[in-house]
Chain A
Amino acid sequence: MSHDTEIQGRSQSQYEFDRRKSAVQMRKQVINFAIMIFLTFVAFATVVADFAPTFIKPVILLLAGIQVVLQLYSFMHMDDKHAPFIGVISTFVWVGAVIAFTFFLAFNTIIWW
């Protein structure tokens, strides 16, 4: 099962470099989290502030879209170019999104109207 795995110890400098790199990455994740929280606040605030629904709806859907893309590419590591089959994974996810949109379109225009 694991005969194809090779474990090599990292040199001290490489190890320190990797540690620093993952600390920097973690800081980026916290910033991404702050952005997500901010987007959530904005979404709730626009609804509470009582703007016209025709304005609010596209805005909060856009905010949700941005937040989800942030989740996928930062927290869920879809930006990791070295992950196994990451190309296949990305294709599946975006095709899934297209199918999701088709569902929405079909249910709201053809099945019920």
Chain B
Amino acid sequence: MLNTKFTPQTWPEHPEQATHEGKNKYVGIWIFICSDIVLFASLFATYISLRNKGPAGMQFTSQELFELPLAFVMTMFLLTSSLTSVYAMYHLKNYNFKGVQLWTGVTVLLGLGFLALEIYEFYHYVHIGFGYTQSAFSSAFFTLVGTHGLHVIIGLVWMICLIVRNASRGLNLYNAPKYFVASIYWHFIDVVWVFIFTVVYLMGVLG
């Protein structure tokens, strides 16, 4: 059953929900996401409380530290990767395996672009003396944004594994839910980033 070969016509309309296993995965990823919401909530609350707080005479403030153009480009990368992931799910529905692989691949590339910019940003901050242990502000900042970056890395490894492992398998009801769940996870990463660019970067520049 899980290895049945399909044609576009026999392919179910909701392939991710067609099997019992697929339904379990669907609910499972959401339960994970709900617990992740709470994790990020605690990190956001900590960051908001500790923003600009540190040893007396600390020369770093969020107003001077953050660069809006960089944050804007990173936002565009991640937001666009969300759309390409939707395209992958569109092709999943239409039983077009090449489309799924291609658009998941584009999503990975955009995610890598985002990650490269984030690594550059962190490297720059550490280089000018704003390291993890520099202040309560820096610890809270790196923990919050770094945890998000870790989620991005996990998402990228996940999608690369899917692309490579299923390359010769083709689409079936065994791997359709896997692609779908990875896509939901990727959108969630974007959801968290929306709050990061608003709360950390935009409100940080405002002071």
Contact = CB atoms under 8 A, between A and B. Distances in A.
A100 to B, nearest CB: 3
Contacts of A29: 83, 86, 90
Contact of A71 (B20, B34, B48, B190): B190
A85 to B, nearest CB: 5
Contacts of B12: 7
A3 B20 CA distance: 9
B126 interface: no
Interface in A58-113: 60-61, 63-64, 67-68, 71-72, 75-77, 82-85, 88-89, 92-93, 95-97, 99-101, 103-104, 106-108, 111-112
B75 interface: yes
Interface in B16-70: 17-21, 23, 26-27, 30-31, 33-35, 37-38, 40-42, 44-46, 48-50, 68
Contacts of A83: 17, 26
A36 B79 contact: yes
Interface residues of A, number: 61
Given A36-B79, A68-B194, A107 B9 contact: no
Contacts of A63: 198
B1 interface: yes
Given A22-B90, A68-B191, A93-B34, A76 B206 contact: no
B205 A47 contact: yes
A84 B17 contact: yes
Closest 9 CB pairs of A and B: A100-B41, A107-B45, A96-B37, A84-B23, A64-B198, A103-B45, A92-B34, A2-B1, A112-B49
Interface of B: 1-2, 4, 6, 8-10, 12-14, 17-21, 23, 26-27, 30-31, 33-35, 37-38, 40-42, 44-46, 48-50, 68, 72, 75-76, 79, 82-83, 85-87, 90, 93-94, 173, 184, 187-188, 190-191, 194-195, 197-199, 202-203, 205-207
26 contacts: A2-B21, A3-B1, A5-B20, A8-B10, A22-B90, A30-B83, A33-B83, A33-B86, A37-B76, A43-B198, A57-B206, A64-B195, A68-B194, A76-B188, A77-B184, A84-B23, A84-B27, A92-B30, A92-B31, A97-B37, A99-B38, A103-B44, A104-B45, A106-B45, A112-B49, A112-B50
Interface of A: 1-5, 7-10, 12, 15, 18-19, 22, 25-26, 29-30, 33, 36-37, 40, 43-44, 47-48, 53, 56-57, 60-61, 63-64, 67-68, 71-72, 75-77, 82-85, 88-89, 92-93, 95-97, 99-101, 103-104, 106-108, 111-112
